[in-house]
Every structure is written in structure tokens, then in C-alpha cells.
Amino acid sequence: MMHLKQIAAGAIVAVVAAGVASGATYAATTGTAGAKACVTSSGNLKLVNGNGSCPSGSSPAVLGAQGPAGPAGATILSGAVPPESNIGVAGDYYIDTATHFIYGPASHHCLPLPCTTQWGKGTSLTGPTGPAGAAGAEATAYQSYHESEMPNGQSTDIATLPLVTAGYYTITATVDAEHSGNDTTTWSCELLGAEPDGTTQNYVESDASLQGNGAASNVTLPLVAGVEVVAGEKIVVNCQEDQAKKGDQADAVILATKMSVIGGVFNP
């Protein structure tokens, strides 16, 4: 039986029964320097000195021969089908990746021959269905469509969308502009927020070049999600065209979606 005790210098000495079995020694080939452990004549196992030599009254320990290797540990196998009896050994586990069932520990049987692996009944790795989450807030969408003829060099409100309810909105306005001349013209459009107190918010500006007889171009005005709108604010698409020709016009669609705010965080 092994006992441990603390000596004055703080080293730990292991006391073993006398008569250490024969086997490999950890001592150096010359002298005692390099020994891993030392043993006294009475069978006390001592730690080596700091320089690797044995303490006075002890000699390098002779340790017993290495024992046999232990048995192999269990293995976790897997596949997209249930386990078959011709794979695995006793103690193994098997996971069916298709059904998420685990089988095992397996047992090995050889009566009657041939030997087979028995996996037993599988256990589901999938827990029970959790409770349904709370219903999220529904988004409310508003849309406005208008078309307008373009005067030369003047700003024109193409479309207006009143938003009665305050809150956070995502807003997208799409302008379809048409030029009837064969020269080049330039459209300059912006998405505005006209508040009831007269304050105007300039949300998005977009420029596009358009040329050719009867040519058409799309100008998309996206507004980044998370804009706060006050009650009664009007969303306005305003455009201006240089070198306007008779018959030039612009069509605008405004889509505003009111979103929810959960825990102070904007959720599109």
C-alpha cells in the first residue's frame, strides 16, 4: 500500500513495500545523475535532487516492466440509416443522422454463429417541441401612385403619401421618367418628409441621365430602414427636369411600410 508524507524541505516521499520488482532502470548509464526516482535499502521511494542525483543513502530505482495494453475504448459510429449487425463492437454507439436516434452501447453475440452486433432500441436525440413563441407585430403597408407632366426647369411634387400614424417606416419610391425629345436631359429627384410643423426632412436624392426620342428611364429612390416618422407627416417625391419637352412626364410610386420596435430595437 502507498502512503504520502511531507518532509521538512517540502518534498514528497512515497513509501513503497520493500522488494522492488526487477525491470528497466531510469538511472543514467554512468553514476546516478539523471535518475528519475531513487529507493533506499528499506524500500522508501525518494525524489531525486535538483541536479538529478539520488539523495544520500539511496540508489536509482528499478521499476517493473510495462504492463499489457488496455482494451480499446468505445467508438461512436454514424450513418444515414439504422445500424446493421455486421458493424461495430461491444460498447460502441451509433447515431442515425437521418432520424437523429442514438443506439448502444452495443453487445456482441456469437451464439448461434455467426457473431453479430446487437444495437438495441434507439433513443431520440431530439427533445420535445417547445412552446409557440409570441406573435410578432404585423407590418402595415401604405402605397401611393401619381403621374405628372414635367415643366421645364421647375421642381414638381410627383407623388405625395400622407402617413397619419407615427412610427418607424421603411420607404421606397420608384420614379419612371419619360423624355420625348431627341436631346439629353437630366432628372433630379428627391424623397422628402414634410412634417405638420413645416419642417422638411431630405431623406434621399438621386440623379439620372436620360436621352433619346421617347426614351424612358427608371430612377429608384430607396430609403434606409429605421426612419422615424411623426404623425401627419407627408412623404413627397419631388423631381426637376432640365430641357423638358412637351409631353415629358414622370410617374412615381411610394411604398411605406410601418415596422415594429421590440425592446427599443428597430425590427424591419
What tens-digit pLDDT sequence spans the chain (268 residues)?
333 333 333 333 333 333 333 333 444 333 444 457 788 888 888 888 888 888 888 888 776 677 888 877 889 999 999 999 999 999 999 999 999 999 999 998 988 888 999 999 999 999 888 898 876 656 677 888 788 888 877 888 888 999 888 888 888 888 888 887 777 788 888 889 999 999 999 888 876 777 766 666 777 777 776 788 999 999 999 888 887 777 788 888 888 888 765 545 555 5
Neighbouring residues of 88: CB distance < 8 A, sequence distance ≥ 6: 75, 77, 94, 104, 106, 117, 119
pLDDT tens digits, one per residue of 211-242: 766 666 777 777 776 788 999 999 999 888 88
Mean model confidence pLDDT for the chain: 77
The number of CA neighbours under 13 Å toward the Cβ of 20 is 21
0.75 exceeded by the pTM?
no
* CATH number of the structural domain 140-267: 2.60.120.40
Residues forming CATH 2.60.120.40 domain(s) in the chain: 140-267
| Torsion 37-40-46-47 (CA) sign | negative
